[in-house]
Amino acid sequence: MDKIVMTGMQFYGYHGVLPEENILGQRYQVDVELYLPLDKPGSSDCIDDTINYAEAYEVIKSIVEQEVFKLIEALAERIASRLLQTYTSINEITVRVIKPHPPVAMFFDGVKVEIHRKQA
């Protein structure tokens, strides 16, 4: 299946279980893979035949920056469901949410959640 991949999108959000995370916020990284047929836009060269990734970016940004979740799993789920609802041409989607600096006394590169969903 063809796909559009958007990687390394960075946003500032207020997600987390700890109250400090909801007050101070932190940076999040989001990657999405949108699985859909790209033969028509490949032939037509018309934006109306594909997903406008600038618009999809704004959908993701509004979720990460304006909504609040305790878990990044819930954040990923919200992104997936909103994109599938907004763009019915997407057959499947993979969403990765990365929390690079979780407030824990451990040293590692962050926490990543990855989910894969299909159109209902």
DSSP one-letter code for 49:
G
Q: Are 35 and 92 in contact (CB under 8 A)?
A: yes
Q: Looking at 3, 40, 70, 99, which residue is catalytic?
A: 99
Of 106, 103, 100, the residue nearest 31 (C-alpha): 100
In whole angstroms, what is the distance from residue 30 CA to residue 65 CA? 12
61 catalytic? Reply is: no
Pairing of strands 26-35, 3-13: antiparallel
Instruction: List, by residue number, the catalytic residues.
Output: 99
